[in-house]
Structure 1
Amino acid sequence: MRVVGLMSGTSYDAVDAAGADLWLEDDTLVLEPLGMVSAPYPGELRTDLAAALPPAATTMREVCRLDTRVGRAFAALAARADEELCGGRAELIASHGQTLYHWSEDGVVHGTLQLGEPAWIAEATGRPVVSGFRSRDVAAGGQGAPLVSMVDVLWLRGRPGVPVALNLGGIANLTVAAGAGSPAAFDTGPANALIDAAVRHFTGGRLAFDEDGAMAARGRVDEALLHRLLDDRYYARRAPKTTGKEVFHLPYLRAALEGRGAPAAEDVVATVTRLTARTVADAARSVGATEVVASGGGTRNPVLMAMLRAELGGVPVRGSDALGLPSAAKEAYAFAVLGFLTVHGLAGTVPACTGARCPSVLGSLTPGRHALRLPEPAATAPVRLRVGRSPAAL
């Protein structure tokens, strides 16, 4: 089955689309990557998304408008991905949407909101669309995240030691895929969220992120500020746990800076970069990681990656590209996999990773332009994922 996976993360800067050929071989799900295309959100849409995110107030009018505008942005990229990556032969679109709010209180997730009305995608492409992946896991008592843990567990199963998959988006999450115990997954805390917030603040919006870690490289870590940030209760919570930009945002950083005079911008950026590296490394050590397989936008920040390697000591860190999944597109591929599982009647969650009571078939299905014909339900669920090529291409 040819599937287009659509993803926009908590950095809300762009929409990514990955094309994949997916098929089952006995107990193995095989994924052939077909490539990735990406499109930045129009500047006005990105500004309006930022203005609507907590702790800002918003209106139902604005939520409705954003739902439509995000849906149209996803639809345009899905149509392009179908043509450019799948030769106009995609059979399914799997859309994560844009997270606007993740409702968590005292470690319990009560709801989650992703915008991007799937009807626009179905209308633009003519393909059926699976969307709304997270809510079913929340309804089953889970955190609704990290959903990529299902793919990580299948993908890294069988590697020696305790491999850990790490995603560095706005928020960092990791999956413990193997080892002596059960799989586990959780958000470790901010990845780029506070770095981006600091850069935008100190440059007056001129820069949106720390390109190549340039600001952090010029700064010095403020140890007192770092320890104040590390005192956040989130880091001591037991997994499974999730968080988001409704917690780690500019007002959060401003509160930590209160009473510290006028710190140098570069020092603040260096400090929050070290915060990400320290909290990720602490989390990886706590689960006995023997290797870290990293993906996401944060892997393009050489200062962050150098800090992470230093914090991890001798634990090797490699990009997911080394194992066949392009780092920039890994989450888009993951949602292509989750969409494939859904239409085959297969669960897309690992309860040990999300905290749910049971595995769930995820998402809602929006029909395409033609009669909806779902594949026969799979007889057995896959126990591993192999990144490879179709026999016809060999």
Structure 2
Amino acid sequence: MRVIGVLSGTSHDAVDAAAAELVPDGRTLLLTPLGRIGSGYPADLRDELAAALPPAATTMRQVCALDTRIGQAFAAVADRANRELCGGRADLVVSHGQTVYHWVQDGLVRGTLQLGQPAWIAERTGCPVVSDLRARDVAAGGQGAPLVGLVDLLWLRGRPGVPVALNLGGIANVTVPRGPAGPSAFDTGPANALIDAAVTHLTGGRLDHDRDGRIAAAGVVHPVLLRRLLDEPYYALSPPKTTGKELFNGAYLRAALEGLGPLAGRDVVATVTELTARTVAEAVRSHGATEVIASGGGVRNPTLMARLRAALGEVPLRVSDDLGLPAADKEAHAFAVLGWLTLHGLAGTEPGCTGARGPSVLGSITPGRHRLRLPPPVPVPERLAFVAPPSGAPPSGAQHR
């Protein structure tokens, strides 16, 4: 089955799609990457999205317009992926959508909202679409995030020690396959979220991220600011736990800077980069990690990766490319697997990773152009294995943060 995973992360700068051939082989699910493409959001759409995100106020008209325009943007990228990576023969599109709000109250997730109307994707591509994957886990009492925990468990099964999967997106999240209470997954705190917020604020919007970590590399960590940021109560919460830009945003950073006097912009960026490294390292060390395998946009920030290596000490830090999975493609492939599980009527969650009452079949299915035909039953996968792409497979497209 050829499946396309489409998503836009919490940096909300682009839509990425990764295509894969998924074939069950007994209890192993074989994933052959077929390539990746990406496209930045149109500038006016990104501005409209940023203006509507917390802590800003918004209107139902804006929400409706964003749902439509994001759906159309996802549809365009999915259609390209189908044509360029799957030869027009994709069987399924799995859309994560664009997270705009994750409602956390008193440590519990009350709801979650991803925009990007799947009907536009189904209409444009003709493929059935699995979407809105997080809501079912929330309804079952789970955090709804990180949602790739089960995929990480299948992927890391059989590795010695305590391997930890780390994703460095806007928010950093980890999956720990083994522990005293079983597997767990949780958000450690900000990854790129506060780095991006600092760069955007300090350059007046001229830049929106620290390309290649150059700004942080030129600065020094401000100890008082770092201490203020580390005092955030979220870090002391026990997993399962989840967070987002509802907490870690530009307003949050500006509040932390109050009363500190003038600080060099490069020092602020260096400090929030160190914050990410320290909070990630503390989280994985407390769970007995013997190796950390990183993916996501943050792995392309050499300053962040160097500080994370320093903070981890003797715990090795690798990137998922070392295990055959391109770091930029990992989340899109993970959601492709989750959609494949949904279409086969199989659960896509591990309760220990999300805190749900039990496992859930995730998402909703929007039929494509033709009659919806569900595939025959297959054994529940116990392992995910990556197969080298065939010779001559289309290369991955331009990478986006």
Q: TM-score, normalised by structure 2?
A: 0.96
Secondary structure in 1 matching 2:241 = coil
2:145 counterpart SS class: coil
1:143, 1:242 within 8 Å by CA — same for their partners in 2?
yes
Who is 1:339 aligned against? 339
Matched, 1:144 2:141: no
Q: Find out whether 1:372 has 2:375 as its counterpart.
A: no
User: Aligned letter for 2:108?
Assistant: V
Structure 2 counterpart of 1:248? 248
The answer on whether the counterparts of 1:158 and 1:178 sit within 8 Å (CA) in structure 2 is no
Is residue 209 of structure 2 the alignment partner of residue 222 of structure 1?
A: no
What is aligned with 1:62? 62
Shift of 1:377: 2.6
The one-letter code matched in structure 2 to 1:74 is F
* 1:352 shift after superposition: 0.1
Residues 230 and 275, structure 2, Cα contact 8 Å, conserved in 1 = yes
The answer to whether the 8 Å contact 1:128/1:372 transfers is yes
> 2:49 matched to 1:49?
yes
* Cα shift readout 1:214-246 (whole Å, capped 9, x = no counterpart): 110111100111011000000000000000001
**Secondary structure of the corresponding residue to residue 201 of structure 1:** helix
- Counterpart mapping for 1:106-185 below 5 A: 106-178=106-178, 181-185=181-185
Aligned length, in residue pairs: 392
Q: What SS does the aligned partner of 1:164 have?
A: strand
CA distance in 2, matches of 1:168, 1:258: 27
Residue identity opposite 2:105 in structure 1:
E
Secondary structure at the residue paired with 2:161?
coil
2:329 & 2:322 partners in 1: Cα distance? 13
SS in 1 for 2:347: coil
SS for the counterpart of 2:54 is coil
Q: 1:218-297 to 2 correspondence within 5 Å?
A: 218-297=218-297
* SS of equivalent residue, structure 2 residue 51: helix
The percentage of aligned residue pairs carrying the same residue is 70
Rounded Cα–Cα distance in structure 2 between residues aligned with 1:367 and 1:176:
35
The alpha carbon displacement at 1:107 in A equals 1.1
**Aligned: 1:384 with 2:400:** no
**Aligned mates of 2:277, 2:360 — CA distance in 1:** 33
- Answer yes or no: is the 8 Å Cα contact 2:33–2:389 preserved in 1: no
Question: Would the aligned equivalents of 1:173 and 1:187 in 2 still touch at CA under 8 Å?
Answer: yes
Distance 2:174 2:316 in 1: 15
CA distance in 2, matches of 1:181, 1:124: 45
Q: Deviations over 1:128-175 (max 9, x none)?
A: 000000000000000001111111000001100000000000000000
Deviation at 1:390, TM superposition (A): 8.2
Summarize the Cα distance change of 1:201–1:392 in structure 2 as closer, same or farther, 3 Å threshold: closer
Report the Cα offset of residue 389 of structure 1. Answer: 4.8
Task: Give the SS at the match of 2:328.
Answer: helix
Q: Distance in 2 between matches of 1:138 and 1:381?
A: 23
Gap regions ≥5 residues in structure 1: none
Deviation of 1:181 (Å): 4.9
Closer/same/farther in 2, CA of residues 340 and 392 from structure 1, 3 Å limit: farther
Partner of 1:206: 206
Query: Is 2:179–2:287's contact at 8 Å kept on the other side of the alignment?
Result: no
Q: Which residue of 1 is the match for residue 307 of structure 2? A: 307
Q: Does 2:204 match 1:197? A: no
| Distance in 1 separating the partners of 2:242 and 2:184 | 12
Q: Distance in 2 between matches of 1:87 and 1:149?
A: 31
Q: For 1:179 and 1:239, how far apart are their aligned partners in 2? A: 12
Q: Is the partner of 1:327 in helix, strand or coil?
A: coil
CA distance in 2, matches of 1:211, 1:392: 33
Query: What is the CA–CA distance in structure 2 between the aligned matches of 1:388 and 1:147, rounded to whole Å?
Result: 23
Q: CA deviation at 1:178?
A: 3.3
Kept in 2: contact 1:350–1:359 (CA 8 A): yes
Q: Normalising by structure 1, report the TM-score.
A: 0.98
Say whether the 8 Å CA contact 1:157–1:178 is kept in structure 2.
no
CA RMSD of aligned residues (A): 1.3
Indicate conservation of the 8 Å contact 1:119/1:366, yes or no: yes
Q: Which residue of 2 aligns with 1:74?
A: 74
**Residue 21, structure 1, aligned to residue 1, structure 2:** no
Aligned partners of 1:30 and 1:386 also within 8 Å: yes
Q: Runs of 4+ in structure 1 displaced over 3 angstroms?
A: 178-181, 389-393
Q: Secondary structure at the match of 2:37?
A: strand
Q: Distance in 2 between matches of 1:391 and 1:356?
A: 39
Aligned to 1:104: 104
Amino acid at match of 2:307: M
Q: C-alpha displacement at 1:391, in angstroms?
A: 9.9
Give the equivalent residue in structure 1 for 2:32. Answer: 32
Q: Residue in 1 aligned with 2:398?
A: none
- Alpha carbons of structure 1 residues 31 and 180: separation in structure 2 relative to 1, 3 Å: farther
* Contact kept? 2:7, 2:15, Cα under 8 Å: yes
Residues 306-329 of structure 1: per-residue CA shift (max 9 Å, x gap)? 000000001111110111111011
Give the 3-state SS of the residue equivalent to 2:342 in structure 1.
helix
C-alpha distance in 1 between matches for 2:166 and 2:337? 18
Residue 356 of structure 1 corresponds to which residue in structure 2? 356
Write the deviation string for residues 59-112 of structure 1: whole angstroms up to 9, x where unpaired.
000000000000000000000000111111100000000000000012100000
